[in-house]
């Protein structure tokens, strides 16, 4: 058997197509890393207050007549946008000033224009302008002014809601509002304690924004009484991400910084699994059919080995090639990621959040990559076995390659549709079960009543069915006319 497997591996790696695929993998990995970095940097530098946008608003404002009642509302709205854009144009779009302008000053500008042109209330206009002037004065050098002001407002609102709750202790709406306000208060206290300004100019600021966003989304689901399996998955995902960003904020680390080699490497299996799938499917899809189409199957069958051994040696060779390809892609990402993002972050561990223990888990990078590979292994084994079985059953290479690829590409859509419509019976199909990483760190399965044991059993059943079908067909196939 060892000799058979060795011969099959020699045949696989001696093909010119393997050289071509290797070159394509190298180009893909390099291109992905460079484009990913450039894309994130470009999105960070994008300005919503560009000169072209200001010019557009100015032209739009000229076309409106402030003395025409039908134009007045549009005039006030456009002028407010223009005033905000001109103010924001003085600062970088990712600066804390830009964020503050949107959070606090933009509503004031709208109020000023409303009082001046619509309501024509001089008293309220003067009060609002005074508040506006104070904020403009603080805008150049004091983000803490805005955080402290916001914290004061939250405390006032919390006190008012607590008084309302004393009068109506069973009011769920008030309880939910209090929970949301207390979380916003926690964010502001954390921001002040850790000296993290508004905006997204630094990773700390980005982490704070992400923590606030994910935790807000999680609280929204947590306040609902009945949630679907799909919503439970989303809720747990939000909670996990929120706690990972909170860990970075509290410890001054950058484990979730997407512009680091460490982050790119720890996600390499999820990023490049499609590459490994394509290689496995192409090799497995032609392995049997090619032997029959070229007539070389006769040279194999005259050897003193059973047909079953010959077939299994080919399948084992496919799996070994799969492992080699995965290692190659991972090492390639290790090297390319280091050059693109810098090698320094490779000394960092991997941090994950366990939903069961509600705690942070710290792992060695290569231990984590090995764990993820084991969890993704059923996908690669089953998709490769499917291509192999189709090759043995039909002797049609294009069919044996196309169907598994389309099946893999469409598997996520199938799962999402099943979740949306509540098709629980789909859990007996292979696609909701073949990614065991869904169970890692206390994760919830795609459907209720699923477990690791259940998923492994389902995958094993499908594997045995495909393998038996391949062996039976291969053993019975007539080669006289080949």
**Are 228 and 337 in the same domain?**
no
Task: Tell me if 481 is assigned to some domain.
Answer: no
Boundary of a domain, candidates 141, 169, 202: 141
Is 287 domain-assigned? yes
Q: Which residue has the higher pLDDT, 64 or 39?
A: 64
Whether 182 and 209 share a structural domain: yes
Cα 86 to Cα 52, 56, 63, 80, 214: the distances in Å are 11, 12, 19, 10, 31
**Is residue 199 domain-resident?**
yes
Q: Is residue 482 part of a domain?
A: no
Its domain, for residue 192, covers: 143-257
pLDDT mean across residues, the chain: 88
Question: How does residue 460 score in pLDDT terms, banded at 50, 70 and 90?
Answer: very high
Q: Bigger pLDDT: 481 or 225? A: 225
Q: How confident is the model at residue 243 (pLDDT cuts 50, 70, 90)?
A: very high
364: left (phi over 0), alpha (psi -120 to 50) or beta: beta
Instruction: Give the tens place of pLDDT for each residue, 255-282.
Output: 999 889 999 999 999 899 999 999 999 9
Average pLDDT over every residue of 146-161: 92
Two tokens at 476? Answer: 């019975």
The answer on 272 and 177 residing in a single domain is no
Distances (CA, A) of 35 to 39, 152, 203, 336, 355: 6, 43, 20, 12, 33
Whether 309 and 422 share a structural domain = yes
**What is the mean pLDDT of the segment spanning 433-460?**
89
For residue 382, tell me if it sits in a domain: yes
Task: Give the residue from 2, 6, 7, 12 showing the smallest Cα distance to 388.
Answer: 12
For residue 182, tell me if it sits in a domain.
yes
Residue 96's CB is within 10 A of a number of other CB atoms, namely 21
Please give the tally of structural domains in the chain.
Answer: 3
Query: Are 144 and 192 contacting, i.e. CB atoms less than 8 angstroms apart?
Result: yes
435 by DSSP, 3-state: which? coil
Q: Do 325 and 236 share a structural domain?
A: no
Task: Collapse the DSSP code of 358 into the 3-class scheme (helix H, G, I; strand E, B; otherwise coil) and give the result.
Answer: coil
Residue 283 is assigned to a structural domain of this protein: yes
> Could you tell me the pTM of the whole model?
0.84
418 and 365 in one domain?
A: yes
- Are 152 and 122 found together in one domain? no
List C-alpha distances in Å: 295 to 273, 298, 315, 340, 355. Answer: 33, 6, 19, 48, 56
Are 277 and 413 contained in the same domain?
Answer: yes
Residue 417 inside a domain? The answer is yes
Are 322 and 419 found together in one domain? yes
On whether both 116 and 196 belong to a single domain, the answer is: no
Confidence check: pLDDT of 246 > 80:
yes
- In sequence order, what are the residues at sequence separation of 6 or more whose Cβ sits closer than 8 angstroms to the Cβ of residue 162? 178
**Which of 233, 257, 281 delimits the end of a domain?**
257
Asked whether residue 174 carries a pLDDT value surpassing 80, the answer given is yes
Whether the CB-CB separation of 264 and 334 falls below 8 Å is answered with no
Asked which of 242, 257, 272 is the last residue of a domain, the reply is: 257
Residues 219 and 240 in one domain: yes
pLDDT, one tens digit per residue, over 384-431 is 999 999 988 888 888 999 999 998 998 888 888 887 777 888 889 998
Please list the alpha-helical segments (H only) found in 342-451.
365-394, 397-421
Q: Residues 37, 59: one domain?
A: no
Dist. CA 447–CA 451, nearest whole Å = 9
pLDDT tens digits for 357-389? 999 999 999 999 999 999 999 999 999 999 999
């Amino acid at each position: 058997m060892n000799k058979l497997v060795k011969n099959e591996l020699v045949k696989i790696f001696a093909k010119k197509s393997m050289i071509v695929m290797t070159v394509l993998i190298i180009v893909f990995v390099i291109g992905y890393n460079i484009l990913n970095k450039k894309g994130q940097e470009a999105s960070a530098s994008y300005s919503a207050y560009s000169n072209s946008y200001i010019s557009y608003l100015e032209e739009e404002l000229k076309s409106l007549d402030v003395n025409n009642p039908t134009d007045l509302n549009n005039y006030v709205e456009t002028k407010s946008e223009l005033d905000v854009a001109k103010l924001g144009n003085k600062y970088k779009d990712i600066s804390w000033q830009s964020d503050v302008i949107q959070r606090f000053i933009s509503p004031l500008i709208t109020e000023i224009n409303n009082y001046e042109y619509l309501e024509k209330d001089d008293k309220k206009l003067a009060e609002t302008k005074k508040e506006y002037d104070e904020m403009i004065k603080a805008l150049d050098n004091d983000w803490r002014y805005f955080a402290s002001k916001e914290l004061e407002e939250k405390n006032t609102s919390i006190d008012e809601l607590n008084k309302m709750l004393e009068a109506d202790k069973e009011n769920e709406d008030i309880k939910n509002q209090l929970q949301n306000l207390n979380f916003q208060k926690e964010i502001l206290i954390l921001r002040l304690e850790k000296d993290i300004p508004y905006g997204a100019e630094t990773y700390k600021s980005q982490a704070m924004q992400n923590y606030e966003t994910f935790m807000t989304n999680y609280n929204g689901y947590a306040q609902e009484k009945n949630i679907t399996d799909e919503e439970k998955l989303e809720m747990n995902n939000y909670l996990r991400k929120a706690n990972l960003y909170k860990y970075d904020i509290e410890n001054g680390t950058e484990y979730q910084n997407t512009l680091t080699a460490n982050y790119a490497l720890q996600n390499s299996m999820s990023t490049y699994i499609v590459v490994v799938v394509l290689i496995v499917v192409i090799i497995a899809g032609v392995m049997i059919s090619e032997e029959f189409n070229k007539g070389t199957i006769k040279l194999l069958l005259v050897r003193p080995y059973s047909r079953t051994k010959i077939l299994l040696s080919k399948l084992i060779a496919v799996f070994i090639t799969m492992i080699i390809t995965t290692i190659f892609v991972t090492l390639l990402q290790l090297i390319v990621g280091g050059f693109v993002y810098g090698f320094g972050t490779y000394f960092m561990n991997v941090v994950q959040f366990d939903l069961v223990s509600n705690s942070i888990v710290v792992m060695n990078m290569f231990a984590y990559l090995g764990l993820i590979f084991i969890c993704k292994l059923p996908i690669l084994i089953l998709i490769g076995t499917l291509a192999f079985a189709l090759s043995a059953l039909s002797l049609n290479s294009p069919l044996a390659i196309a169907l598994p690829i389309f099946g893999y590409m469409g598997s996520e859509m199938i799962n999402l549709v099943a979740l949306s419509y509540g098709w629980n019976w789909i859990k007996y199909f292979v696609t909701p079960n073949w990614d065991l990483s869904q169970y890692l760190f206390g994760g919830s399965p795609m459907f209720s009543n699923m477990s690791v044991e259940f998923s492994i059993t389902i995958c094993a059943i499908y594997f045995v069915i495909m393998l038996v079908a391949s062996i039976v067909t291969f053993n019975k196939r007539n080669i006289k006319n080949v």
